[in-house]
Each structure stands twice: as structure tokens, then as C-alpha cells.
Structure 1
């Protein structure tokens, strides 16, 4: 998504030029290109798919909507299998229209994961609950902290359900370091993502993730914390940013590689 302006073949070429060997996929461009075709393209290029994004949106009250959401999540698991990744990131869902019940919404997320986790585990895919910044709680994700994500994840085996740690969403939380230790002790850090926090936020908020080094987050510090907890997997950069998307995608990817090296590589 950092360079969503690039089609998948262009992305593959740009990664080859810059020596990028891993890529996190999003469902919409993969589906538009064709899941099987995308998997073959990435595999033939020698690219490893780190995670597939996104499943989730499990907070609906209407039984038919809940069934539809579960069916869609199962399709997302199947897509992850085809793409060759063992992690499906979950953005859990916001409050249903007219509801004020945050606790009830979180409980429905757990209920949905209880159905999905065995289905995913049978196919070798682990679910990763991603907490999103509280500003997204109403419409996108009622799981706002690592503590809340772990409270749900811990109901399930660690090899079935973990957490996605994204600096953009947790950097502000003074309890996050302790929760990272909690996650690490259980082996629940499924994936780690970087984005910076810049202000002012854009209208609509969603597409305001800053390029690495442009904002307030000590990215190297957070990488160190995650790795202290035993995480040795790939590190993703996920930037939703209209300004970056308006630029040449190859230029943005090259800049992102340089910024990662400058701001996130441990010295």
C-alpha cells in the first residue's frame, strides 16, 4: 500500500531494482490482478509475501452480516495460503451504526476469531490482531491498544492468534512497552510495521501516515523494543499517504528504502 500507485508487475520490477525481497500484500490489488496470477508473479520474481491484509471487520450485530464477514475472512485466509504467507492481519471493525457498546463489539471480535482461528490454523495461517489508534475506534477498529489486542488473543493458542505491532498506532501509549514484553513472553508478535506520525493530520485522518523520519516517532527505539522480545521476522513499512501516492511509485519506494536504512536500522 505504500506504493499502491504501482501495479503488481511494476512493483515486482521496482523491488528487483532496489533489492527488496519481501512484500506485504493487500487484498484489493491482489483480487483485481487475480489471486492465482498474483501469487505466480510474486513467486516467479523471488518475492516472499510477509503478510496478507486484511481480514477482520467482525463487529456487526446483524446475523447475516456476521455470516458474510466470516465467509469473507475465510476467503482472505485462502488467499494468504495461495500467496504463500502464514500471517493474515485483522483490522477488527468499528462500532455498528447506532451502537455505543465498545465491550460488546470487542466480544463479537473474539467470537468471530473463535470461528476463524481453527479454519486458519488448519491451513497454516496465523491471525494477527492489529490495534489501531483510538481515533479509529468508531468506524474502523474498537481494538485500540496492545493490551486490548492481547486480551483477545490470549483466549487462543499463540500459534493461532498473535498481534500486529504498528508504530503508527502504539507509539503514544506509555503501556505499550510492557505490553510488548507480555506479547513477547507468549510468542505472540506476529508482524511488525513502521510508519511515522506527522501533523497536522489530513482531512479524513486515514491517509496521514508519515514517511519514516518525517514525524514524532523514534522508529529505531521501537524496533529495538520489539527485537528485545524475540521478534526476528520481517519489518514492514505501511504508509497511507495521499502525497506519497501522488508521486512516482519507484521514487517513493527508493526513498522508503533509504529512510528505513537511515531511521530504522539499529546502530
Structure 2
């Protein structure tokens, strides 16, 4: 395999959800790639221990998932997001992925929920800036708007981010969630200088029964990954490209096997 074709590849640990985090980091070190980490496995292993492992192994932590769930309001959500900012800083990543939350107050509706997201970002942004961490707003497919994320398009994410400096609040381009949007490539151009992360997963049909775990392996669906890659590059993004797959069948397979297959699919369909 042409190693150069993997120079931006990063394994989001969710792709190999049940692969021990320590082993996954060791595997990434062996092949010279980055890793996107999740707060729960990091907490299980210990923040300090995880930070030491990635530092000693020379593995770049390309993002931390996740902050967010801001629509409920209140001091508890803000406190948890400040903890997430601290964790990202300790792990050496500047990117904290924000899944903003669903509709908590049905009387306020979507508009009210999005307003709460904007208010919470204003509360968190100064602390994020102080810690050198960017809040990376990830729009999710509209089918998740009610329970997970009221931000459904890249344009909406840009609007929420625009009051802040680009290195303090940015946006995530995740192909699984926004491939369908007819305005997405214009939005990517508009997001120039504000793209915090680029994540790839395919859209397969028919969707599995568990929609949350329906992300396809690269090349198994309909997403034009190279077009997305060229679009984010034209917008100035040359950072890591994380493969993030939520898929029960993939999770059931051995982590090393999935990593090898995913690197090959990345080379074939993205690089």
C-alpha cells in the first residue's frame, strides 16, 4: 500500500468501538496514523493515562467526541462541556466535536432549541479559547433532529459558528450526515477557514433497522468521497480525515481486520 495515501488518515475509535482503546492506539502508532477518541473509553482508561499513551506513542489525537447536548440548558450541561474542553486540551487535540442536542422543550420547538444552542456556545466559547480548544459543531442528518441534534445542515452550523472566531467555534463536515443536501458544496465553500474536522462514512440502503448504526464502509454506498475531499481542500482544509463508522456488523469483527480494510477502502475511495 502506498503509505503516502494514508498521510491524513485517522481512525475514529467509534469505527472499532469494541476494540480496546489501548490496543487501538498501539495499532495506530504502528502504522503511523492518527486517532479520534471518545470521552467514555478515555474515562475508563483514565484521562492522564490515555494522554500519556498517545504522547509516548506519538499518535495524534485528531478529535475528541463529544461535547454538546446543549438544548436542555442549565448549569449541568455547561459544566460537562467545560470538562470535555479540559479533556480535549489534556489529550492534545484542538477539536471537540459538538453534537448539539435534540428538542427538549416541545413548546419552544426547533427555533427555541437552536436558540439555546447559540446561547450555550456564547457561554462556552471564552473558556474554549482560553484552553486552546475549538468547539466543532457537527450537523446531523435531519432524522436525528428530534433527539440528538437540531442542527441538520452545514449552513445552520455555519450560522451558529459565525459570531465567533474561526479557531474558537468551527464546523464538522461529515459525509454521512450531509451528503444529501443540494446546497452542501456551496456551504463547504462558505465554511472556508472554519472547517474543524472532516469525517467520512458511506450512506447505504436499505438502512439497517438500527438507523444510528447504519453507516456504511467506504465504497459500499452512494457518497462521492473524492468530491467532498476536493471541496474541503478548496475551502482550505488540509487536516486529518477521520473514518467514523457506526455499524453493528463492523463492530462485531476484530479491530485489526477492520482497520486494515478501512485503510484500503480509504485509499481506494478517498485519497
Question: Residues 74 and 116 of structure 1 are in contact (CA less than 8 Å); yes or no, is this contact kept in structure 2?
Answer: yes
Aligned mates of 1:193, 1:247 — CA distance in 2: 21
Aligned mates of 1:226, 1:251 — CA distance in 2: 29
Instruction: Choose the corresponding residue for 1:8, options 21, 37, 57.
Output: 21
2:219 match: 213
Aligned mates of 1:15, 1:125 — CA distance in 2: 23
Matched, 1:90 2:98: yes
2:238 match: 232
Runs of 4+ in 1 over 3 A off after TM superposition: 97-100
Structure 1: give runs of 5+ residues left out of the alignment: none
Deviation at 1:97, TM superposition (A): 5.5
Aligned mates of 1:197, 1:20 — CA distance in 2: 28
Aligned mates of 2:44, 2:70 — CA distance in 1: 23
Instruction: Choose the corresponding residue for 1:180, options 171, 174, 188.
Output: 188
Instruction: Choose the corresponding residue for 2:77, options 48, 65, 69.
Output: 69
Query: Which secondary structure does the structure 1 equivalent of 2:97 belong to?
Result: strand
Q: Number of matched residues?
A: 258
2:4 match: none
Q: Deviations over 1:184-221 (max 9, x none)?
A: 1xx11111000000112122310110000110101111
Aligned mates of 1:80, 1:2 — CA distance in 2: 20
1:59 match: 71
Aligned mates of 2:206, 2:229 — CA distance in 1: 25
Alignment of structure 1 residues 116-155 onto 2, 5 Å: 116-155=124-163
Structure 2: give runs of 5+ residues left out of the alignment: 1-13
Q: Deviations over 1:242-267 (max 9, x none)?
A: 000001111001100000000001xx
Higher relative contact order (CA 8 A, sep 6+): 2
- TM-score, normalised on structure 2? 0.93
Question: Residues 105 and 113 of structure 2 are in contact (CA less than 8 Å); yes or no, is this contact kept in structure 1?
Answer: no
Q: CA RMSD in A?
A: 1.1
Deviation at 1:226, TM superposition (A): 0.7
Question: Residues 168 and 197 of structure 1 are in contact (CA less than 8 Å); yes or no, is this contact kept in structure 2?
Answer: yes
